[in-house]
Structure 1
């Protein structure tokens, strides 16, 4: 059993739970393989739009992060497989900077995820999953929930199809993240066609998807990223699917798995 999406004490907006707490909890839950995929440093010329500018680790922490995970990898080699990874942000307008970062750090990674958290509107950036209040501001700026959703899926499509070099992540993170606040901000236009097109491109580019359990525990989402019907479509295309807890504290390991397993039985 593998968890391919776990955060760490290097996450500025996460908990201070130690690496050992995550690892011991994973072993206790029966996992045989985990990937630590901390938020990679954002491009140096990009301004984090969140209030505390805490979306990702700082560049000066990266070497220590890689060293620490590699040491733990050796320490726990007989108990569990630990992958050194990062969650990379795809940000429109910063593709070249992201490709350069990947070229530099790619050789040091076992695993990585490519995700969209930031949306661009007239050269202003917004963090789409920060809070319901920020999402309301995004909706106001974009003009409608539908426009926000369309922008997200068009950005995700660009993430999938853009050449970021030989170390581009092989897995696409939480592909329906824009639904995080759907109970409060429902989208009146179905996004099925957008999602199907993205799945076709994921298959074409030989990528994987992150079956992310975090959405299950979000009160305004209450479903995995992505939901069951998307997983069915992915399976029909023989797209590799990797469970990810997206845990930001040790107790969130395995989150959403009960729902995911129940849905899997219906496929």
Structure 2
């Protein structure tokens, strides 16, 4: 059985804890959780530039990355975590201690130290759940491949805020499982999972539904890879499509205004698929 590494961007990442727990319940818990702790000065500056000071404050308070205008009464991710017996503010370190899993923090996921920690496991399967853009040093150390769940259709929507951009650009809301290479969401694809857009959904609810679909798919694929039944990539998208960045507040506001009509179009696309 191949060892499994999980990366994470912070200790209280709920999707990371959910993937670790899902693997444990299948009998293939991660052998290592590597948290690329985001609070070096360089990373704090980068997060503030791209996501605003509020995101950093949420991380430091243990709330994770929250979006403005999030509806506290409608949370597919919270419902999923409750259904699996996990709390929204579960800690990776606490989970790892409970189940005797090694959990290590590093300042930079692409550092020599991080590469050494991972390479010592030998050929492994790595599930990416955060930690920064991966460079060649880490990819070389990570073994067979690094798996990622991208909350958008590849290659059409690459990069940040993929669910939001999918809605605004009238692309199908979906999650793409793919291998990570040195490009931005350009690695070989494994599976596309359609995500249902429901009447009355908020942007945050749809994004969280993508996260939940990604959790289930990551658990399934990582377990299969660890037990020797990995899926074969069906395409290598390359750098085609549109690389997206953090959605500006004005565009986010426009998306919220247009959301009911966009959801109706999403539902029609799903019926025609």
Q: Normalization by structure 2: what TM-score? A: 0.34
TM-score by length of 1: 0.34
